[in-house]
Amino acid sequence: MKIVVCIKQVPATTAEKRYTDDLRLDRASTEAIINPLDEYAIEQALRLLDAGSVDAVSYLSMGPDQAAEALRRALAMGGDDATLVTDSALAGADEWTTATVLAAALDKLAPDIALMGMASDDARGSLVPGAVAAKRHLPLLSYGSELAIGEGTARVRRLSGTGFDWIEAPLPVVATVTDQVGEPRYASLKGIMAAKRKPMETWSLADLGLGEGDLRGGALTRVTDARPPEAKPPTERIENVGADEAATQIADWLASRKLI
């Protein structure tokens, strides 16, 4: 039983973000981390490994050369090996492109479960896992607050509108988990040292048998404009007043905006 956790390197959530003159993110000057929501997928996979439910945990990422750092950090948390898909033709990849490439890489790695975080911190579309499942002709088990493995099946505990369900499908599957699986572990010093010796492969698009025609020029979408968000009016403050006065002033404020 083998899990491949797909991870994405993203700009640090709270990092000061700088933009080039054409309003593209200046990634070179921005601290990069493992997408925080992918760390929950790593944690879920490692818990199943710790429990003996799976035999191996591998990592897969698509990105520039420096995404190897994110894979090393994942390996420091645990697991066995990692693969980076990197290719100059992938700059500007959109969700469809990413799904196409990850699906081809997962076809080669052939895990029982391809596991992903519920969303990426930077774009938040959450479409890649389902599109990967579609491309690989596998069931999708998404938004699990827990992933469990049964006899030839996997299941996720998923929040519903009024409670929760356990959704089940036959293996192999593509699955995603939420931040409810439990807090991701920290990498120990021993883990960080061990990670340096764990195998990491780098694949190009040619290694995946993907040509330019397969990726239709690199993306199906393009960004035509990027601009800073609209400036918000300054915050009004109520402070250094008693609770009665504060309540009156809040009510006045709400009334003047016809909210009560």
Are 12 and 25 contacting, i.e. CB atoms less than 8 angstroms apart? no
Nearer to another protein, 4 or 99 (CB): 99
By the 8 A CB rule, do 4 and 102 touch? no
Q: What are the tokens at 205?
A: 């698009």
* Closer residue to another protein in complex, CB, 170/199: 170
Q: Which one of the spans 47-55, 106-114, 203-211, 248-256 is the region binding another protein (CB under 8 A)? A: 248-256
Task: Answer yes or no whether residue 143 interacts with another protein by CB under 8 A.
Answer: yes
d(CA 98, CA 56): 24
Residue list 23-82, contact with another protein (CB under 8 A) = 23, 25, 37
Q: Is 9 in the site for another protein (CB under 8 A)?
A: no
Q: Return the range that interacts with another protein (CB under 8 A); candidates 45-53, 105-113, 194-202, 221-229.
A: 221-229
Amino acid at 89: A
89 binds another protein (CB under 8 A): no
Q: Does 128 bind another protein (CB under 8 A)?
A: yes
- CA dist 71 and 5 (Å) reads 10
CB 85 within 8 A of CB 203: yes
- Cα pseudo-dihedral 127, 143, 40, 145, rounded to 10: 180
Asked whether position 138 contacts another protein by CB under 8 A, the answer is: yes
Distance CA 137, CA 30 (A): 37
CB atoms within 10 A of CB 260: 10
Shortest distance, CB of residue 198 to another protein, whole angstroms?
29
Residue 101, phi then psi, degrees to nearest 5: -70, -45
Among 81, 112, 179, 207, binds another protein (CB under 8 A): 179
Q: Binding of another protein at residue 162 (CB under 8 A)?
A: yes
Longest dimension (CA), the chain: 70
Residues of span 224-243 touching another protein by CB under 8 A = 224-229, 232-233, 235-241, 243
Cα Rg of the chain, angstroms: 22
The reply on whether position 256 binds another protein by CB under 8 A is no
Binds another protein (CB under 8 A): choice among 56, 126, 146, 185:
126
Q: Whole-number minimum distance, CB 254 to another protein, in Å?
A: 7
For another protein, the binding residue among 31, 165, 201, 212 (CB under 8 A) is: 165
